[in-house]
Structure 1
């Protein structure tokens, strides 16, 4: 009779299991876990395996790979993606948005025209709501155009939190009290919630940048994309695939804002580099 693991012991993940998982997750998401992420991966896999009642990696992995159990795969993606952000992160890009990018984009547009801004990945929503706050507070032409803000992530759990729009003081520390009073309400325990009209104005959707359908009717003719601090988790092939997907979604003359440690010039030659004051962004040729 084979001995079973004690319920107090975490399931064992062997070296070969880690390699099989890493390759599979890379093919599905474009995210490649380096060897130094082994502890992070093992802990999350063991939690998911225990949660699902799996005592062996093979049993769990077969469940994840099964097309009939899409929830297992989504739970895996949710567990493995890192989501840490706050309001007005890298604020200089928002300043550039209202002072340079949008004035250039709308210069020849008629009043009432639609301007589309896309936050991907949106994580728990701080970025798309920051964009909305910033436009309302700092762009003088905000009422002259139909602004549509889209927010997407591969992680469905963080998107649910984004839709609720409830944030702790730490996340909101860079937002002025006046702005908070206008666009959020106190919901107790030191938390504030984005007001309902503003929450309802954001279009949320699940998106995998590496599997974005061509001709997607929602994510097309975008004017500005905020795609910050995600390409650093991809390898070169996945970065190029993501860059091409972003390029396809943009209108001619549209802009992409990356994280401060990322550079499109090292990924793809599709974009032109633009420098506004102290901000470097990437543009699809007009």
Structure 2
């Protein structure tokens, strides 16, 4: 089934070239089915790229999915045009009276700050509290995952001595969890962050499940036992070349950083990287949409 996006969204032609099933709004309203309504809080600087990455993964489902985009009202992004935000985005105030079947909160380049020092942290707190009554299940990515662990479960982060960047092996440890159905016993996943959530606190928290583990990167998938929150500490939505672009960006800033681990063929930065986590990403998003959202959300929120 298709994903319903605005006709002029920049992600649309990219997805259509990939043969992703896209449907226009005027056709979607004629479908005699109950679509899933998702809300995406996009905190990433390159919003158009993040839109494409996430919509691609949300499209691989037998369910019709409608997506609303919101950005922070208390912080204005410098890497996206004002016209793009005005055309495709709303703020939390515009949607706070609605209910959503699922929500995604992305990462953000604010790891170096304590949570309370982030300009839009009070707004984040308001949104995360709102999800408890207005969203069936929320998916949090990277910094968004750390923010959720901190706010909902009191688990803080710690700064790493060196940034973790690369592709790392993970071992599935919760084989019967619905979110992990069909995922290999061992799998590769990309990480890119300067901080870690406190490992021991996650493992010992009575309301959380670590679904996998990695000796180098720690857990990738963490879920609340009530299935209301899923935390992804890495970036399974990334394209094959995203880590390389981040590596080049950091070098241009004068940051002394090693090349991403286990990323380039033969560890040669001159060779293009391959996407070795695509199937994992599609399956995880499909499982979340099916088991944590569709199977649990009320047909009529009223």
User: Per the shorter chain, which TM-score range?
Assistant: 0.3 to 0.5
Q: Considering fraction of residues, name the structure with more helix.
A: 1
Bigger Rg, which one: 1
Q: Considering fraction of residues, name the structure with more strand.
A: 2
Instruction: Output the TM-score relative to the length of structure 1.
Output: 0.34
Instruction: Output the TM-score relative to the length of structure 2.
Output: 0.33
